[in-house]
Structure 1
Amino acid sequence: METRQQGFLDSEPLREADEDLVSEVNLNNMTEEEREEIQQELVKLEEEISTLKQVLLSKEKQHADLKQKLGITPLAELRNNFSRGWHDMQTSTAYKKTSETLSTAGQKTTAAFSTLGSAITRKFGDMRNSPSFRSFEEKVENTVSSIKTKVGSSDTGGSFEEVLSSAANASSQDPPANNLRDSSERPC
């Protein structure tokens, strides 16, 4: 026989020789009387298991019959289990803490966006009052006046949109001469 030292967590599987060695040891140390006693106990245990399986099947059938009489369907059970689980989850401390944290985060995010919006509005106001924007605004007004004069509008008032629409109307009635050229005359 081969003797080998095995660790507690040996990764090698048992070989046939090892199994034979174990069964020889158990059989050699046991008397015939002990062996018969164990056999009888095994048979008795198997009979009890069989009886318990039959009783369990009978109880499960009775359980199903009672549910059917009460009108409890598998779908209703599933719905009840889901509702109970949802309620249990909502009442758990983890859910409450998460909900409170998300609520606080939402409030802080809303406050941050509000502050950002106020800052942007203030910056636009500051920009509009700046000298460079005033200069730009004056140039736009001069350009609008110039367009009004070229379009031939008699009134000097009016909004920027009115001026643009009148300029568009004037240009659609009188197309420029350079757009009338033949496509063959264009340089490549």
Structure 2
Amino acid sequence: MSNISPTEEAIPVDNHVVNDLSSLSNEEKERQQALWNEELAQIEDEIATLRTVLASKMRRSAELKRNLGITVWKEVSEDINQGLKNVKESNVYQTVESKVGQVTKAVTDAPIYQKTTSLIGGITGNITNKIGQMRHSESFRSIEEKVGSAYENVKTKVVSRSNSQQSLDEAGRSRSGSVVTSPTIPEDKPLA
């Protein structure tokens, strides 16, 4: 008989197992193989039962989640948020965050950074002053007035056109009870 208990996991056949069987008689080999086949069938039956139970539990879980309003998106969001929280609380993240803070402080405290910031601030201030001076100049006011009057002219023409179109529509309704529409021009034909 073999020393293998029924609770041990099945071991793939390799040279070790073949060697153990080689010392047995044909009858003992057949008996051992029958025991292994029986144990294998039992384990596969248990696996099938566990899969059935697991599938049933998963269906019930999904049903309960649906009743509670828990969606897949919500679960994924919670998992991501928990993962981010775990990362932020990790020592590696804390160390990196600390180092980035130190580098940022070193950069902002550096004389070159201070000079660059003041230089950029000076350039921005000069540009703002020049634009302010230009805005008060005669040529800028002239351009502003021309643009404003052009805008008003276009606006007046658009309003005038829409009012005349509306007047035509109203006139058509009062005469025949139907709306007069302007003829449409097919898009594929050019205007002549």
Q: TM-score, normalised by structure 2?
A: 0.45
Structure-1-length-normalised TM-score:
0.46
- Which of the pair has more CA radius of gyration? 1
